[in-house]
Chain A
Amino acid sequence: MITFDNVSLWTPNTHRKSPILLDCTIQIAPRARVGILAPAGSGKSSIARLFCGIDRPDRGCIQIKGRPSWPIGFAGFLHPELRVAQNIATIAELCGFPAKTALDFIADFVEIPNVLGRKTENLSPSERALVAYAISVVIPSDYLIADEVITVGNPVIRQKCEAYLETVLRDAGLVFMSRSKRQLRQYCETYFILIDHKLKPCSDLDAGQDALNMAANRAKELELSDV
């Protein structure tokens, strides 16, 4: 269970803070597949880090029972000078997961010749993204957290990602933050929209998108009237 109790989050600037979330209270049940429709620049990544347990809110309380993933496909911790195998083993061991299992899975999943022995800096951007994706889904989590990225690679690889994700999601929940209604429909069962700095339940994503567009237009008009 992930519980947000009156959570507020502001942008971390010292001056001119702007709100991302205000007094938000939600609960995400185990194994729930929750989609959050949010426009660009609304603070999706910041909220994703709250769900991952990486950041704490400025106000309110978050309780995470179980183990959330880091944002799917996050590649920042792959050190360019290390070999792929060393990077994967490090992350797996930090999570208390057997390194060998992770290495075997990734070598099989990514289908890149001799991928484990290669230096990370020598991978192409798409290969690196695929390795990062594979490590984020192979480490067991109770909740997968996705910040726009839920699959990577070319159409063939994407199909493989989707198939594996379905397997993982039999035992885990999903919190997927995206701008794409199509992707949210594909993976999620219940929805929220991020509007007026609140996460509001939404049963119809089309109506939710219309509400977001109206809010964006209203904000533009306000900006113009200020000028």
Chain B
Amino acid sequence: MMSTYADRSHRLGVLIDRERRTRFAGGAIGYFWAYLTPLMWIAFVVILFRILDRTPPLFVGAEIFVASGFLPYLIFRQTVTSLSRTVPANRYLLYVRPVSVNDLLLASALLEGFNVTVTACVVFGFITLVYGANFPVNLAQVVLGLSTAWFLGVGVGRFVAVVGMFSDSFARAVPIILRPMFWLSGIFYTATELPAAVRDILWYSPLLHTTEAVREGYFLGYASPISNLLYPTCIAASFFLISIPIEHAITRSRRARRRL
């Protein structure tokens, strides 16, 4: 053997760097889009809040209320999108023998984890500095809630990416299937203000649990009736684990719709 392959951690570092350079390549703003997009989204939702003359159900500013609800959704959605795009976009890197589908997915998940951490710091920092929002009462719970949203995105995203390798219809249907999550994740409301019957149904939305956990950790005195992080963690782990044999079967039988 003339030389060895790069070890896995180095390989992941190279893949992350490539993904970072290529995802927003071409424009003048480049990678800042990764952080600009969520800020614009939050600004848009806050404006919508004001136009609708809606006041937050908690005694906090509209900006921090929207941000604490929107960030878990954004983290989840952005991670799913990122993972589902990385395999078709980087499939030819599989010609470089040590690189595997798993490497591509892991690199994308880690990069997205870094992106959303920066985004969360920028968003909460900006709102605290500009609008004078209070610091979270339980920072650890906020971090745990946001991390769970990321893990949920990783689990679901991996499943979507793997099944999308095989089925074009599934890949196209996913954005439509996930769209209701925007309304089911508690961006505009808290679980406490929902009627009991509606709350019982929305209990099944894993994102609502993460949003409620983040708000519970952020706002003094807010106790949510549904903020069980074990539930979204189990959902994420289930999707993650199911995707492994599916990936193996599709790769093994060379059934990916975009051929190498």
Cross-chain contact A76 with B92 (CB below 8 angstroms): yes
Q: Does A81 contact B (CB under 8 A)?
A: yes
For A65, the closest partner residue in chain B by CB is B1
User: Contact flags (1/0) for B1-28 with A, using CB distance below 8 Å?
Assistant: 1111111001100110110011001100
Residues of chain B within 8 A of A81, CB atoms compared: 21-22, 25-26
Distance between A11 CB and nearest chain B CB, rounded to angstroms: 9
Q: Does B96 contact A (CB under 8 A)?
A: yes
Q: Which of A36-44, A49-57, A192-200, A210-218 contacts B (4 or more CB under 8 A)?
A: A49-57
Cross-chain contact B254 with A93 (CB below 8 angstroms): no
State A86–B4 Cα separation when bound (angstroms): 21
Q: Does A58 contact B (CB under 8 A)?
A: yes
Distance between B21 CB and nearest chain A CB, rounded to angstroms: 6
Distance between A55 CB and nearest chain B CB, rounded to angstroms: 6
User: Contact flags (1/0) for A31-75 with B, using CB distance below 8 Å?
Assistant: 000000000000000000100111110100000011110110010
Q: Does A8 contact B (CB under 8 A)?
A: no
Q: Does A219 contact B (CB under 8 A)?
A: no
Q: Which of A94-102, A107-115, A155-163 contacts B (4 or more CB under 8 A)?
A: A94-102
Q: Does A90 contact B (CB under 8 A)?
A: yes
For B25, the closest partner residue in chain A by CB is A81
Q: Does B32 contact A (CB under 8 A)?
A: no
Distance between A164 CB and nearest chain B CB, rounded to angstroms: 16
Residues of chain A within 8 A of B22, CB atoms compared: 79, 81-82
Distance between B78 CB and nearest chain A CB, rounded to angstroms: 21
Distance between A132 CB and nearest chain B CB, rounded to angstroms: 11
Cross-chain contact A54 with B97 (CB below 8 angstroms): yes
Interface size on B, as a range, is: 20 to 34
For B259, the closest partner residue in chain A by CB is A12
State A171–B3 Cα separation when bound (angstroms): 12
Cross-chain contact A142 with B2 (CB below 8 angstroms): yes
Cross-chain contact B6 with A67 (CB below 8 angstroms): no
Q: Does A141 contact B (CB under 8 A)?
A: yes
State A95–B255 Cα separation when bound (angstroms): 26
Cross-chain contact B18 with A74 (CB below 8 angstroms): no
From DSSP, what is the main secondary structure of chain A's interface residues?
loop
Distance between B200 CB and nearest chain A CB, rounded to angstroms: 42
Interface size on A, as a range, is: 20 to 34
Which residues B219-260 have CB closer than 8 A to chain A?
Answer: 252-255, 259-260
Q: Does A129 contact B (CB under 8 A)?
A: no
For B97, the closest partner residue in chain A by CB is A53
Cross-chain contact A70 with B254 (CB below 8 angstroms): no
Residues of chain A within 8 A of B10, CB atoms compared: 93, 96
Distance between A100 CB and nearest chain B CB, rounded to angstroms: 15
> Please, could you name 29 A-B residue pairs with CB atoms under 8 Å apart, sorted by A?
A12-B254, A12-B255, A14-B255, A54-B95, A54-B260, A66-B1, A67-B1, A67-B2, A76-B92, A77-B93, A77-B95, A79-B18, A79-B22, A79-B25, A81-B26, A82-B18, A86-B21, A90-B14, A91-B96, A93-B6, A94-B11, A95-B5, A96-B4, A96-B5, A96-B6, A96-B10, A97-B3, A141-B2, A142-B1
Besides A82-B21, A95-B6, A96-B7, 5 more A-B contacts (Cβ < 8 Å) are A54-B95, A66-B2, A67-B5, A94-B14, A95-B3
B interface list, Cβ under 8 A from A? 1-7, 10-11, 14-15, 17-18, 21-22, 25-26, 92-99, 252-255, 259-260
